Structure 1
Amino acid sequence: MSSSRTAEDTYEAQNDQRLDELHSKIRTLRGVTTDIYDDAERQHLTLDDTGNAFSSFSTSLAQSSRRAAQAFGLSGAGGIRQTRIIMYIVGCFLALWLVWKTTGIWWPSESA
């Protein structure tokens, strides 16, 4: 009888050891699951913040575009026409070309 009692005690000790190992694995799994959940929540908040930042940026870009259009008179009646702006730009380039050809300040001509 004592040998069967010893075997039962051995089995019970092994069961207790396995049970402790199982509890340890469950705690580890619970910790990993909690870490995954926390990381997912942080990423969700980061994505929300990024979306809000882009939305704010697009709103301010649209406002800046409207203000620039108003400042240059490209929107509304009685403003400076786009052709006038193009003529100013072409005139500036023509004036710079004439100054370059006549004085040779920027790049001296090699034919002289």
Structure 2
Amino acid sequence: MSSSQGGVEDTYELQNDERLDDLHSKLRTLRGVTTDIYDDVERQNSTLDHTRDAFSSFGSSLASSSRRAANAFGIGNGGVKQWRIIGYCVIALLGMWITLKVVWWWYPSSPAPEH
């Protein structure tokens, strides 16, 4: 009986060794998946950090542009007043109109040649 029990124990030991090898293989696979997940999370965090920095920079630029526009239209403190801008536009239009009148007066359109 001892010889048959030795064969059974050897069989059990071989099965245990196979199962242990399977377990080691699964652990290596799990370790690889965990490492891949960690690397992916690090890449995503880096991308999110760059995106946050880009939006922060864009927000600062937009706020700066908004302040400059407010100053230009006299909305904020120390800005050019809106009536000044309107006045400049009216003066520019009058200046162009007068220039055109003077040019037409000095250089009238010539009559069409007769055939």
What TM-score do the two structures reach when normalised by structure 2? 0.63
**Number of equivalences:** 100
Contact 1:73 1:81 in 2 (8 A): yes
1:38-83 alpha-carbon deviations (Å, 9 max, x no partner): 12321221222122112101111012213333598433xxx52515
Query: Which structure 1 segments of 5+ residues have no match?
Result: 103-110
1:74 aligns with 2:81: yes
Contact 2:72 2:79 in 1 (8 A): yes
1:32 aligns with 2:39: no
Contact 1:72 1:80 in 2 (8 A): no
Structure 2 residue matching 1:15: 3-state secondary structure: helix
- The percent of aligned pairs where both chains have the same amino acid is 10
Q: Distance in 2 between matches of 1:93 and 1:23?
A: 86
Q: Distance in 1 between matches of 2:39 and 2:9?
A: 45
Q: Which runs of 4+ in 1 moved over 6 A?
A: none
2:99 is aligned to 95
Distance 1:63 1:81, change over 3 A: closer
CA RMSD of aligned residues (A): 3.3
1:55 aligns with 2:59: yes
- Structure showing greater radius of gyration is 2
Query: Which structure 2 segments of 5+ residues have no match?
Result: none
What TM-score do the two structures reach when normalised by structure 1? 0.64
